[in-house]
Chain A
Amino acid sequence: MGFIFYLISAFAVGGALAAVLLKNLVHAALAVTIAFLGMALMFLCLDAQFAGFAQILVYVGAVAILVVFAILLTKGSEVPIEGVFSKSWFAGLAIAAGVFALLAWAVLRSAGSLPDAAAAPEVTVKDIGNALMSRYVLPLEIVAVLLTAALLGAVIIAMHEKEGAKQG
């Protein structure tokens, strides 16, 4: 196991932990950006360059900015007095720890039968484009429809309701 893998996974896990634990929401948004960046670096380690850069564009570029906007629009940057964790935090923590224990147990038990590293696949962006336009053209079109619907839906949901209330 390489030193770089440890470094990147520490980056990603540390960012995720900070995002969940930090009290100030703006700090949490910055920490989750670090976690997304760590995941993108891990994709690059796995020779998935296209997915890695798509991750940087979509998550670091768009989702993080969207989260910061939502925090600022909802005055979420003020730390609430009554604390940031819910009353049933212990049950949530126990469930998460149980899920991690189960997953890690399953992975480590089957570690011997997992496939070994093959030679790095020769996948260019051209191959991905060809696959998207031939074998995966139907999912691509459906994702286009989904993104359009989500765009319209998000705008309509977050729009001011004053005009609608007058009519209704």
Chain B
Amino acid sequence: MTPLSAYLVVAALIFAIGLAGALTRRNAILVLIGIELMLNAANLNLIAFWRYGPHPELLSGMMFAIFSIAVAAAEAAVGLGLVISIYRHAKTTDLEQTNRMKG
């Protein structure tokens, strides 16, 4: 059986990759993809702690992960809607050119 720390290190690595993507890419859609990767890494941590925790039959970590997946889906829908709306206004999704919120 794989130790818990291996899962935690993989989750930390994916979180860092997502953070790097969100901080360094110019395209707004890629920034959203980076945020999704970070959320996914957090879910992996929740599931891993649920599996190795003292009372897995209480399902706390599992429920947390399921609700987190649902909230992430809502976030992705609204975020991509915002990107499409910004593209319609500014004709670009480049974050270095979209530097004002007024239309």
Contacts and interface: CB of A to CB of B under 8 A. Distances in A.
Given A50-B62, A71-B29, A132-B63, A5 B6 contact: yes
B20 A128 contact: no
B17 A86 contact: no
Tell me whether chain B's interface is mostly helix, strand or loop, or mixed.
helix
Contacts, number: 260
Given A50-B66, A74-B84, A108-B9, A35 B14 contact: yes
A66 B70 contact: no
Given A51-B62, A87-B96, A25 B27 contact: yes
Contact of B33 (A32, A45, A51, A111): A32
Interface string A48-77: 101100110011001100110111011010
B62 A111 contact: no
Contacts of B51: 46-48, 117-118, 121
Interface in B1-51: 1-10, 12-27, 29-30, 32-34, 36-37, 40, 43-44, 47-48, 50-51
B29 A51 contact: no
Q: Determine chain A's interface SS by DSSP, over half rule.
A: helix
Contact of A115 (B4, B9, B37, B94): B4
A100 B12 contact: yes
Interface residues of B, number: 73
B47 A46 contact: yes
Interface of A: 1-2, 5, 9, 12-13, 16-17, 19-20, 25, 28-29, 32, 35-36, 39, 42-43, 45-48, 50-51, 54-55, 58-59, 62-63, 66-67, 69-71, 73-74, 76, 80, 83-89, 91-93, 95-97, 99-100, 103-104, 107-108, 110-111, 114-118, 121-123, 127-128, 131-132, 136, 139, 143, 146-147, 149-151, 153-155, 157-158, 160-161
